[in-house]
Amino acid sequence: MLRREDNLLVSIIVITYNSAKYVLETLESAKVQTYQNIELIVSDDCSMDDTVEICKQWIEANKERFVRVELISVPENTGIPGNCNRGVNIAQGEWVKLIAGDDLLFSSCIEKNMKEVDENSTILLSEVIDFIDKKELNLFKSPVCSNINPMFKNLKSAHFQFLYFLKGFYIPGSAIFIRRNKLIEVGGYDEKYTLVEDRPLFLKFTYNDLLIKCIIPVTIAHRIHSTSITANYGSKVIPQYVIQVWEVIHLYASFYHKRQFKINALWHLHIISIITSFGNKGVVCNFLNRFRITFQPLRFYNLLTKLKIVNPN
């Protein structure tokens, strides 16, 4: 294992796909980290723009900042999880931080995560903020706000975290700081779900009783822009993205043998398929989507449980 000054080596893995417009800002945010013992991996998933060439030029000019630098590119697009796995597999750090090629690391991101590491840590969860314009941010100072649900922060066991994800709740994938050997032990990111990397991983970890540890500071800025997947709910790719989310939730609900979670996932999948048949646009689709969320079976099950009409056990 490469080391400098007896500090653990950390791998920052920048995941890119058609990221030419923003990737330089992402790379610069890796460069200014206050933690020094860092290697940089850039894993590109067959970008059709100038992403790879831009990264090559930047790396040549800035490679001395890092213990080691690698740029990976492939001839065919494989999807987000496959791209993540390539970066993780080539990395040599004991801990890895994956970040999309349009997001930003606060300058103290790695340092603050490493201060929370202990021998029992597997995944640390850093708070994340959304932004549109970089001018809004001060990368040397963490703001107070976050887009992680406070409900999750109060969950003290992997089991209850697992149930949280089975209910369809979300945590941004960019929030995680993960021990590399544990990620490899569980099989890495699930490449079956090409559009979604975070939900399968969170479910896999917590199902295997691996606790996600929350930390307080905001260390990641998630960029909202018109070409990102999550910003384009009306685009053709989004129904498939949401379908994959609920497919993986249904899969783990089957492992868990709890009928209410399986039924809830099937409800979402059925309504989404109807929305897709309408072209995923227009007033009808907006109504169906609100109907899907508002009247999901799990809400009625929880109500009946509170009224003691249904025994949760």
Rounded to the nearest 10 degrees, what angle do helices 158-166 and 237-256 cross at?
A: 130
Q: Which two tokens stand for residue 158?
A: 């992997």
Average pLDDT for 214-234: 71
Please write the tens of the pLDDT for every residue from 60-77. Answer: 999 999 999 999 999 999
pLDDT band at residue 264 under the 50/70/90 scheme: very high
Q: Which residue has the tokens 């013992």?
A: 37
| Contact predicate 272/240, CB 8 Å | no
Please write the tens of the pLDDT for every residue from 166-211. Answer: 999 988 889 999 999 999 999 999 999 999 999 999 999 999 999 9
Please write the tens of the pLDDT for every residue from 13-39. Answer: 999 999 999 999 999 999 999 999 999
Q: Could you tell me the strand order of the sheet in which 123-131 lies?
A: 68-73, 38-44, 10-16, 95-100, 176-179, 123-131, 212-223, 104-105
Beta strand pairing call for 95-100 and 68-73: unpaired
Between residues 133 and 5, the one the model is more confident about: 133
What predicted TM-score, i.e. pTM, was given to this entire model?
0.90
Q: Which two tokens stand for residue 197?
A: 């990397």
Average pLDDT for 89-116: 95
Please write the tens of the pLDDT for every residue from 266-278. Answer: 999 999 999 988 8
Average pLDDT for 208-237: 74
Question: Cα(88)–Cα(238) distance, rounded to whole angstroms?
Answer: 26
